[in-house]
């Protein structure tokens, strides 16, 4: 953590997200764990598929291709930006603007990996991480992604579990969108930041606080889905 930095992102709601960016050491350890997982998987499969002869060899080569090119992509998309190695180190991949990484970003950052490994032992990638302010390898720079430390604890009132609270006051579409955006970003904010943001709506909503806004956000999302 001593070699890591905080990456500040200004959101449309006027709140600054402070994300601790992961440096070379934890990223290297995460890569090593993933490499061991892939190596162990291929070793077990090679032994098992030997009994199928040429067919087994073909299946093995297909699995090798999938693991080498899509292991990271599938985990980053389906597991909130974290491969098993990254999850073990408390890391996750996300877009540089603080939003979850998508298919295009994940595919691009991992396709450019073949440049990062050149001329061997991830030399280009390591140099890029050391020179980049946000510790981005070449794939991250191309895709606009960063690797950060995931929050150790999730917020107590997640937007998906907070009971919907109907809005009684009339609000503009922009105000409603601000509440929905708050609900989507709530888990990325610490409690103090969330309460600070909620207080902005006090003139519009009486007793506006974090839990109430999460409830309103769920109600608005439900209303939009129903319509």
pLDDT tens digits for 174-224? 777 778 777 777 766 667 777 777 777 777 676 677 777 788 788 877 754
The more confident residue out of 115 and 10 is 115
- Within 13 Å, how many C-alpha atoms sit on residue 92's CB side? 18
Residue 198's contacts (CB-CB under 8 Å, 6 or more residues apart) are 182, 208, 209, 210, 212, 213
pLDDT tens digits for 66-119? 999 999 999 999 998 999 999 999 999 999 888 889 999 999 999 999 999 999
Query: In the predicted model, what is the mean pLDDT of residues 162-173?
Result: 76
CB 99 within 8 Å of CB 91: no
Average pLDDT, the chain: 82
Chain Cα centroid distance, residue 148: 8
């Amino acid at each position: 953590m001593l070699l890591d930095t905080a990456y500040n992102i200004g959101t449309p709601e006027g709140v600054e997200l402070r994300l601790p960016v992961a440096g070379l050491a934890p990223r290297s350890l995460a890569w090593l764990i993933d490499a061991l997982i892939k190596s162990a998987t291929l070793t077990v499969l090679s032994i098992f598929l030997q009994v199928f002869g040429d067919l087994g060899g073909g299946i093995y080569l297909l699995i090798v291709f999938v693991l080498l090119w899509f292991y990271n992509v599938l985990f980053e998309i389906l597991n909130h930006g974290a491969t098993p190695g990254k999850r073990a180190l408390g890391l996750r991949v996300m877009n540089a603007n603080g939003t979850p990484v998508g298919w295009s970003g994940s595919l691009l950052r991992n396709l450019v990996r073949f440049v990062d490994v050149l001329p061997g032992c991830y030399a280009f990638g390591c140099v890029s991480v050391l020179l980049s302010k946000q510790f981005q390898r070449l794939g991250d720079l191309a895709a606009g992604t960063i690797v950060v430390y995931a929050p150790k604890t999730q917020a107590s009132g997640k937007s998906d579990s907070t009971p919907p609270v109907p809005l009684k006051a009339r609000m503009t579409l922009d105000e409603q969108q601000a509440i929905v955006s708050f609900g989507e970003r709530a888990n990325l904010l610490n409690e103090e930041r969330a309460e600070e943001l909620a207080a902005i709506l006090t003139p519009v909503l009486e007793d506006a606080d974090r839990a109430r806004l999460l409830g309103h956000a769920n109600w608005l999302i439900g209303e939009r889905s129903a319509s």
